Structures are given as structure tokens and as C-alpha cells.
Amino acid sequence: MASDFRQEFIRFTIEQKVLRFGEFKTKAGRLSPYFFDAGLFYDGAALKALAQFYAKAVLAAGIPFEMLFGPAYKGIPLVAAVAMALADAGRNVRYSFNRKEAKDHGEGGAVIGAPLAGRVLIVDDVISAGTSVRESVNLIRASNAIPCGVVIALDRMERGNGTLSAVQEVRASYNVPVISIATLDDLVQYLKADTRHAGHLDALGRYREQYGVTGNA
């Protein structure tokens, strides 16, 4: 099945201890029964595997794009790794990323790598407040290129300040699709099938009932 990689990704994140269960305080001050920290993919093998999952999600989504863009700082290693994974999968595309502050010497500018042009797919780890997406969209449009979508690792499907999730807010604000390797739905499905972790389902269900959104579109 085409969705098999999503369950493989959940298993991979748990094995890597990137996705953990317990009680974690989120930036919004909520006590979450799980925590996903993409910054813990910090060795070569883990980053390579992560990039391969990104590539599978991108190719499965079928969104037309000409190049990739990674917002500083977490998006920088991600976009390079995903570009390599896509090339291994037979899709060779250009990529670039930005620096936090524009450079006024040497090559100058705020963007490093391929010039922003055509349809640009943004590669990020997660979407929380949507700040990096907004900055990326503005930068891409300022270069007369077209932001055509965002790809992230995990969609928590959790409300932001209003009734929409951060992912839904990005979709509504910029009219672009958001691809995720996996969602909270995928995590729930995995836990139902894995007796080792099924004990976390009740806490996750209660949290979702309080803070979750319906669907991810």
C-alpha cells in the first residue's frame, strides 16, 4: 500500500526516540501525552532515513514543483538531504535555503543555492506558529517564484489559537497544500496495532478530544 511508509515512519521515530510518550509541556502551555522532536535526527543514518521518508511523501502527493527551499535553520540540512533522497528516487531537483540575515559581502543576499524560480516546495520539520512558512512564502514571492506547497514530518492535527490547526491555517492563509509524512491519525492507527505502546491510546485520545481538529484538510 502507498500509505505503508507512514506506519514505517511512526515506528522509525519511536525507535529513534524522536517520538516519545509521557507528559510534555508544549509551547502553548498544554500538557501533551507525546512529544516529537525532529532535532533528534542528528546522525547520518537517521538523517538519511528521514530524508527518504520525506521523498516518499513528496512523490506520493504528486504536487508539481521545480525546486526545494529550506527555511533556516532546521530546514537547511533537511532540504539538502531531501534533495539527495529525491535524486536517488529518480527526481533530480535544485534546492536553496536562506540565512537569517542578508549578507552584504561575498555572494551577498539572503538565499544560498539555486536561484528561487518556478514552483518552489518548502521543506520544514513541523508547523507550529507558521512563522518560518510565512517568511519563506514572502521570500519566494519576492523573487517572483511560486510557493507551491509545504512538506513537514508530522502533523499533530491540533488547534492553534482558534478552531484551525497550524497546518490548516497555513493552507487557508497561502492557498497551498501541506504534505506531511505522517499525521496524528497515523500515530493512532500505529498504536492500535502495536501492543507495546497501545497503553498510550487513552491519554492521547483525551488530549485529542480537548485540543484536536477534525480532519487535516
Residue 217, pLDDT score: 44
Known active-site residue 197? no
Could you tell me if residue 127 is inside a domain? yes
DSSP label at 115?
Answer: P
Residue 1, pLDDT score: 43
Known active-site residue 103? yes
Number of domains in the chain: 1
**pLDDT < 70 positions in the chain:** 1-3, 102-108, 215-217
Residue 27, pLDDT score: 81
Could you tell me if residue 217 is inside a domain? no
Going by their DSSP bridges, the two strands 94-103 and 109-113 should be labelled as antiparallel
* pLDDT digits 0-9 by tens, 90-122: 999 999 999 877 655 445 578 999 999 999 999
CATH at 41: 3.40.50.2020
Q: Which residue in 48, 105, 197, 200 is the catalytic one? A: 105
Which among 63, 64, 41, 43 is positioned nearest to 53, based on CA atoms?
Answer: 41
